[in-house]
Amino acid sequence: PFVPSFPDCGEFLSFMLFYSGAFSEVVLAQEKATGEMYAVKCIPKKALRGKESGIENEIAVLRKIKHENIVALEDIYESPTHLYLIMQLVSGGELFDRIVERGFYTEQDASALIKQVVDAVNYLHSLGIVHRDLKPENLLYYNPHEESKIMISDFGLSKMEGAANDIMSTACGTPGYVAPEVLAQKPYSKAVDCWSIGVIAYILLCGYPPFYDENDSKLFEQILRAEYEFDSPYWDDISDSAKDFIRNLMQKDPEKRLTCEEALRHPWIAGDTALRKNIHESVSRQMKKNFAKAKWRQAFNATAVIRHMRRLQLGSSMDSSQRRKQNPTSMPGKSQSVDVSSVHHNDCKFLPSFFMKLTRLLLTNLSYSSAVVCCVLYYVVLSNST
């Protein structure tokens, strides 16, 4: 269960694998001196061949960032075979999961969430950094507490303005949240992040995405036209101020789109126009319906966007064979106390293989939040049994 590729590094003790992707692993690691837990991204150097600029860009971006709502890069280690990014551990779960499990949820709650996101993105923009892949899956709660703050993660597609090749035109992001100018293959700016925030705000208030179609080509056409509605009855109880906020972020013309600074001054964020009515039942029902397992996220990767644009260039119509990748996530239950004081070390011989199998099962179903909880539980049981 312990990951052999992660070195001791003197200060850290490798603990347990909780994510394995095509190009990297993420392990839970404990700092020996403090007992603090961290997430360590382990990247094989052989996987970086030809992609060195990408990881260098991600590290350069992360090193510049220090904000309370952004997952921090704590340190970097290097071995002959691997690069190790020591990241702040966030354990509160994904945005949609937490909303679904709540019993009370209002426009004010949505406004408070979006304010944290806008404030963090405004900070990034002030440093000349564009995230380029803002979506609910990259918005995590710092801890399981009810009043936990939101954290922005995953800077793998981020870009620093003002560097070489300053004009951004690379096809990237998740199509459900990507701005029209990206799909249209036009040069774009930090305004693409503001569009994505508008899409996220839309979903937070109704529980379903503004753009949806099983056919990729038709979905892209909707986004290119900025074609969306505030459908009845789902938007009947939502304030005009909230709708105005979204309209101004989801402007087709990026020059007319609100900047983050302007968004922070909007009455729905800075004022008291966000309503206090409980909309949890309607929003959570739609979230479970539209983002449930087997349909969750309906998210594409950048390959789908590139394919779309290549076919546009060739003048071909896009078929519907390429389905959106689905990223189901867990819905964590309410916090429960676990008594492990009576567990004996001899009783724990089966635990490594058991917890590893359980974690891998959760990750197979893309239940990231539950996998983290599983790893932490294993650590607690093991610590109390020795």
Q: What is the pLDDT of residues 103-114, one digit of tens each?
A: 899 999 999 999
Same domain, 258 and 349: no
For residue 23, tell me if it sits in a domain: yes
Same domain, 108 and 83: no
For residue 327, tell me if it sits in a domain: no
For residue 324, tell me if it sits in a domain: no
Question: What is the spatial distance between Cα 221 and Cα 89, in angstroms, rounded to a whole number?
Answer: 39
Task: State yes or no: pLDDT of 15 exceeds 80.
Answer: no
**DSSP letter at 80?**
S
Question: What is the spatial distance between Cα 125 and Cα 258, in angstroms, rounded to a whole number?
Answer: 13
**Which residue blocks in 162-259 are alpha helix, DSSP H?**
180-183, 191-206, 216-224, 240-249
Residues 6+ apart with CB under 8 A from 190: 125, 130, 161, 259
Token readout for 326 is: 């689905």
Domain of residue 353 covers 336-386
Q: What is the pTM of this model?
A: 0.73
| Integer angstrom CA distances of residue 81 from 15, 45, 50, 320, 336 | 19, 6, 16, 41, 41
Task: State yes or no: pLDDT of 228 exceeds 90.
Answer: yes
For residue 207, tell me if it sits in a domain: yes
Token readout for 311 is: 């076919």
H or E stretch covering 351: helix 351-364
Tens-digit pLDDT profile for residues 49-80: 766 666 777 788 888 889 999 999 888 888 88
Same domain, 110 and 242: yes
Residues 6+ apart with CB under 8 A from 343: 381, 384, 385
What length is written for the chain?
386
**The domain boundary residue, chosen from 89, 109, 131:** 89
Same domain, 116 and 72: no
For residue 118, tell me if it sits in a domain: yes
- Structurally, the chain folds into a number of domains equal to 3
pLDDT at residue 9, as a whole number: 56
pLDDT at residue 47, as a whole number: 73
Catalytic residues: 133
Q: How far apart are the first and last CA of the chain?
A: 17
Cβ contact 100:339 at 8 Å: no
Arithmetic mean of pLDDT, 120-128 = 94
H or E stretch covering 306: helix 302-314
Same domain, 268 and 285: yes
**The domain boundary residue, chosen from 267, 284, 314:** 314
Same domain, 285 and 346: no
Task: State yes or no: pLDDT of 115 exceeds 90.
Answer: yes
Same domain, 109 and 207: yes
3-state secondary structure 254-293: CCCCCCHHHHHHCHHHHCCCCCCCECHHHHHHHHHHHCCC
Same domain, 53 and 104: no
Provide the CATH number for the domain around residue 159.
1.10.510.10
For residue 238, tell me if it sits in a domain: yes
Q: For the ranges 81-85, 163-167, 241-245, which has the lowest average pLDDT?
A: 163-167
**DSSP letter at 350?**
T
Residues 6+ apart with CB under 8 A from 275: 106, 107, 108, 237, 238, 239, 242
> What share of the chain has pLDDT > 90, as a percent?
36
Question: What is the spatial distance between Cα 102 and Cα 378, in angstroms, rounded to a whole number?
Answer: 26
Token readout for 204 is: 């937070």
For residue 368, tell me if it sits in a domain: yes
Cβ contact 62:70 at 8 Å: no
Arithmetic mean of pLDDT, 127-145 = 90
Arithmetic mean of pLDDT, 233-254 = 97
Per the model's pLDDT, the better-predicted residue between 159 and 61 turns out to be 61
Task: State yes or no: pLDDT of 44 exceeds 60.
Answer: yes
Question: What is the spatial distance between Cα 348 and Cα 181, in angstroms, rounded to a whole number?
Answer: 55
The CB-side HSE value for 136 (13 A sphere, CA atoms) comes to 27
Question: What is the spatial distance between Cα 175 and Cα 302, in angstroms, rounded to a whole number?
Answer: 8
Same domain, 272 and 362: no
Tens-digit pLDDT profile for residues 352-378: 454 554 444 444 444 445 555 555 555
Cβ contact 20:27 at 8 Å: no
**The domain boundary residue, chosen from 59, 89, 119:** 89
Which residue carries 């964020």 as its tokens? 269
Same domain, 309 and 349: no
For residue 276, tell me if it sits in a domain: yes
Task: State yes or no: pLDDT of 314 exceeds 70.
Answer: no
Residues 6+ apart with CB under 8 A from 271: 241
The Cβ of residue 18 has, within 10 Å, a number of other Cβ atoms equal to 25
Provide the CATH number for the domain around residue 30.
3.30.200.20
Same domain, 258 and 363: no
Same domain, 253 and 180: yes
Arithmetic mean of pLDDT, 307-313 = 48
The Cβ of residue 85 has, within 10 Å, a number of other Cβ atoms equal to 21
Token readout for 124 is: 């990034």
| Integer angstrom CA distances of residue 92 from 71, 146, 151, 166 | 13, 9, 10, 36
